[in-house]
Structure 1
Amino acid sequence: MAGLWRHGDFLKLWGGETISQFGAQITVLALPLTAILTLQATAGELGVLTAMQFAPVLLITLFAGVWLDGNRKRPALTIANLGRAALLGLVPVLYVADLLSMPVLYAIAFLTGLLTAVFDVAYVVYLPSLVSKDQLVQANSRLEATYSIASIGGPGVGGLLVQWLTAPVSIVANAVTYLAAAVSVAAIRHREPPPDRPADRASTWTEIKEGLSTTLRDPLLRPLTVGSAWFNLFEQVILTLYLLYGVRELHLSTSLLGAVLAVGSVGALAGSFVADRAGQVLGVGRTMVWTMILGCAALGLVPAASGSPLVAGSVLAAGLFVYGLALAVFNVHSLSLRGAIVPPELLGRVTATYRFFVFGTIPLGGLLGGLLGEQLGVRTAMVIAVAALLAGAVVFAVTRIRSVGDEIFGPKETLCSLD
């Protein structure tokens, strides 16, 4: 533990991500509220907005993985942060100029998502080059704690900013945090070794195929990828409709909605602290299986919420607390598992492949949520999503993941191969 606290470069990376994630959590609330409150968006339009944010995962992630395997990762992190700052800074400017519309919001969401897709692959691939393998779980736990801490303060502050400044203007806070993160990453002193670029390097498509083959043929990576993709598909149905549900059906204020999200993030913070211990007690595989089931079940409280704003908010908060805790524990071990078993020369492509499938279902989930919400009603759509999540969790529980133990973090263990 003390090793990471004395690791100056990791602290810069961690600090920059903490700042940017705090701002990003403001935008998680403020961007859809801009659509709902300022532009009077329907459930279908919210689904399209979600799709625009995450569609770039399908378009660029595989190519980004190949490119990152042959290039330094840190410059990509800095450039992505600067680009996202510039794009999000346009939202309040266009709003004040009375030029903001849903098509414009779609375009900004898409371009920001494009940079985020590259950043997220680069970030995951860069971390193992910065810390040792035996520090990966601790490092990922701290990063998961970062997301949780940011999620605790971000939505609450975002809800207040929306009330004080309007939703579009509050997004400027995220632009500022991305600028600060770019400075922090640029200050890292560690220099990446030159990437290995063999003279007979295969074509881009061949390298993409290698990443796909490695991920989909490995007995651990395959069920992890499929199970996570299914989860994200139906989780996004709920997340797409959550704010619309809270504002128009439960009649919750933006500040209360932000507070509910913050309570859920307290659970995620708790999960990041207990993740390592849970893995030691239950084993990595059983921990992932049980947290997947628990997180899916907890989301069932979202469509169950009803009554007065206080009662409904309390039910939502309870569900999101348990969901956040379970998801944080799962994510820590998912990241660490992939970082430990994938050879370094394939990590960029495998990470990109994983994100292609897992995050590629998010825009589909957004569109599905919008469609189901308009055709069947918001609450019914979320009930269907919870049932699908639980079915997926049961299937995930019987895969080989359940038998994974801590031996994967041994110094010479590599389970991933192209055989």
Structure 2
Amino acid sequence: MPSSSSASSASPASSASSAVSDSGRPVPSHLWRDRDFRRLWVGQTASQLGEQASLVVLPLFAVLTLNASAGQLGALRAVGQAPILLLSLFVGAWVDRWRTRTVMVLTDAGRALALGAAAVAGLLGGLGLPTLLVVAFTVGALSVFFDVAYHASLVRLVKRDQLVRGNSALEGSRSAAQIGGPALGGALVSALSAPIAAASSAVFFALSFLSIRRIGRREAVPEHSERPPRVWRRIHEGLRFVARDTSLRTVCLASAAFQFSFAAVMTVYLLFLPRDLHLSGTVVGLALAATGPGALLGSLLAAHLPGRFGYGAVLVSAAALGDGVFLFVPALHGSSVVTVPALLTVGFVFGTFSQLVNVTIMAVRQTVTPDGMQGRAAATISFVGGGLTPLGSLLGGFLAEAWGTRTSLLVTAAGMLLSPALMALSPLARLGRTLPAPPENPAPSA
């Protein structure tokens, strides 16, 4: 259970029956009867639609309109991912002291403004590669704040025994976004223009802003001392906590291996589809969107399979199947009649098993982490796991120029299998059907 650094011993994560909303009414025990949970769900869905669309819009505009080289595309993706490395640890230390609702609302507003400005610049003829770099970095930085706050928010809203179902529902919304976001972004870039596509992403962030700001429940945030510790001390506490926990340490290493390789894969993939397979932006968007239906299935499976077969077995097998399917992509040749169904199948399989891993990993992290350490634990894992993504994107661009897209895609896809290998060789693979409780005396958090 959380230590005394928590706001109280009866936080929403430990005793939902004692939680009350601002109106004084008890918080419903069933997730979907809880208006604030529904508002978080709606906001998350809209935010993910905006993010997924923008992740397709900016690279496709660079490739199809600006005729960006492989190195330039790698640089664009690296700039958008750099905030994970630069900001995650600081954001985690700050978010543990803030209300997550406030953080998510402000970042939604900021991303809407940044993409709205990009749309205006595009309509005025000023949306070149330098502008894309600025927009990508700004949206990436704000997304770091949103993601850390989002991962900490659920623990403050629901009981710990509802975390798997809550994560499954929220990750299901991510799945819906993965279906609609890339397809919408690719279609708008092809049929209309990049400025219109950027504007559509801004609208989704605005909708998320409107939904999340209506969450009325008081959050149980950790108590703060009159003289709070310096941010470096709080960062050190988060790093030390994750490093000392075997499960979280393994999650960091496996995530780093996956994120590095996947960033390289996606840089090459976004070149391979339009240039080697000669697919339009709309078809590229549909191929990327195929992960969405699979992710929806993965979210549903995550609510049942770990409790039946064990968390460790599910993590290792799902990661191996989901990552391994990309090895088939470099073998694709021929007309779109053959390649498109194959790409849709690869996307569906990858979406299913990667989402199963994501939800299960999130449940493990949230369950073994005290409330006052949630933001820093999430940020530390993001920093270690996602911090290498800019280097992966740059590597993907470099390999595509040096070896060609087909060979580079095979090599980078093979690298993704290091992640399930690390989990299989660790105590994480031996997790059973139930998860351990958080430590009684975690590092100080206030």
Which range, TM-score by smaller chain?
A: over 0.9
Q: Is the 8 A contact 1:300 1:319 kept in 2?
A: no
Q: Aligned letter for 2:85?
A: L
Which position in structure 2 is the counterpart of 1:340?
367
Q: Does 1:227 align with 2:241?
A: no
| Counterpart selection for 1:45 from 57, 65, 72 | 72
Shift of 1:277: 1.6
Q: Aligned letter for 1:238?
A: V
Which position in structure 1 is the counterpart of 2:137?
110
Q: Is the 8 A contact 1:34 1:168 kept in 2?
A: no
Q: Aligned letter for 1:180?
A: L
Which position in structure 2 is the counterpart of 1:181?
208
Deviates more, 1:117-126 or 1:66-75: 66-75
- Supply the distance in 1 between the matched residues of 2:86 and 2:364 (Cα, whole angstroms): 26
| Counterpart selection for 1:360 from 380, 384, 387 | 387
- Supply the distance in 2 between the matched residues of 1:64 and 1:190 (Cα, whole angstroms): 23
The structure with the largest helix share of the pair is: 1
Q: Is the 8 A contact 1:29 1:158 kept in 2?
A: yes
Write the mapping of 1:236-255 to structure 2, written as runs, cut at 5 A. 236-255=263-282
Q: Aligned letter for 2:413?
A: V
Q: Aligned letter for 2:332?
A: A
Which position in structure 2 is the counterpart of 1:169?
196
- Supply the distance in 1 between the matched residues of 2:420 and 2:430 (Cα, whole angstroms): 16
Q: Secondary structure at 2:98's aligned position in 1?
A: coil
- Supply the distance in 2 between the matched residues of 1:413 and 1:110 (Cα, whole angstroms): 35
Cα pair distance change 1:4/1:251, threshold 3 Å:
same
Q: Secondary structure at 1:408's aligned position in 2?
A: coil
Which position in structure 2 is the counterpart of 1:196?
223
Runs of 4 or more, structure 1, over 4 Å off, are 415-419
Q: Aligned letter for 1:235?
A: F
- Supply the distance in 1 between the matched residues of 2:432 and 2:440 (Cα, whole angstroms): 12
Write the mapping of 1:306-317 to structure 2, written as runs, cut at 5 A. 306-317=333-344
Deviates more, 1:193-202 or 1:182-191: 193-202
Cα pair distance change 1:393/1:193, threshold 3 Å:
closer
Cα pair distance change 1:415/1:305, threshold 3 Å:
farther
Which position in structure 1 is the counterpart of 2:176?
149
Q: Aligned letter for 2:102?
A: P
Write the mapping of 1:206-217 to structure 2, written as runs, cut at 5 A. 206-217=233-244
| Counterpart selection for 2:163 from 116, 136, 154 | 136
Q: Is the 8 A contact 1:78 1:186 kept in 2?
A: yes
Q: Is the 8 A contact 1:72 1:195 kept in 2?
A: no
Deviations 1:103-154 (A, max 9, x none): 1110111011111111110111111001111111011111111111111122
Q: Is the 8 A contact 1:342 1:415 kept in 2?
A: no
Let me know the Cα RMSD of the aligned residues.
Answer: 1.8
- Supply the distance in 2 between the matched residues of 1:195 and 1:381 (Cα, whole angstroms): 47
Cα pair distance change 1:20/1:413, threshold 3 Å:
closer
Which position in structure 2 is the counterpart of 1:84?
111
Q: Is the 8 A contact 1:19 1:181 kept in 2?
A: yes
Which position in structure 1 is the counterpart of 2:405?
378
Cα pair distance change 1:392/1:332, threshold 3 Å:
closer
Q: Is the 8 A contact 1:341 1:415 kept in 2?
A: no
Shift of 1:201: 3.6
Deviations 1:251-305 (A, max 9, x none): 0122222222222221111111111221122101110111111111111122222
Cα pair distance change 1:200/1:7, threshold 3 Å:
same
Q: Aligned letter for 1:248?
A: R
Deviations 1:380-400 (A, max 9, x none): 111111222223422321111
Q: Is the 8 A contact 2:85 2:387 kept in 1?
A: yes
Count of residues in correspondence between the two structures: 417
| Counterpart selection for 2:354 from 307, 315, 327 | 327
Which position in structure 2 is the counterpart of 1:12?
39
Shift of 1:200: 5.4
Q: Aligned letter for 2:294?
A: G
| Counterpart selection for 1:282 from 304, 309, 323 | 309
Shift of 1:5: 1.1
Q: Does 1:293 align with 2:346?
A: no
Structure 2 regions of 5+ residues with no counterpart?
1-27
- Supply the distance in 2 between the matched residues of 1:200 and 1:263 (Cα, whole angstroms): 50
Q: Is the 8 A contact 1:342 1:416 kept in 2?
A: no
Q: Is the 8 A contact 1:214 1:416 kept in 2?
A: no
Cα pair distance change 1:2/1:299, threshold 3 Å:
farther
Output the TM-score relative to the length of structure 1: 0.95
Which position in structure 1 is the counterpart of 2:423?
396
Q: Is the 8 A contact 1:341 1:416 kept in 2?
A: no
Shift of 1:194: 5.2
Structure 1 regions of 5+ residues with no counterpart?
none
- Supply the distance in 1 between the matched residues of 2:440 and 2:69 (Cα, whole angstroms): 47
Q: Is the 8 A contact 2:264 2:392 kept in 1?
A: yes
Q: Does 1:59 align with 2:86?
A: yes
Q: Secondary structure at 1:379's aligned position in 2?
A: helix
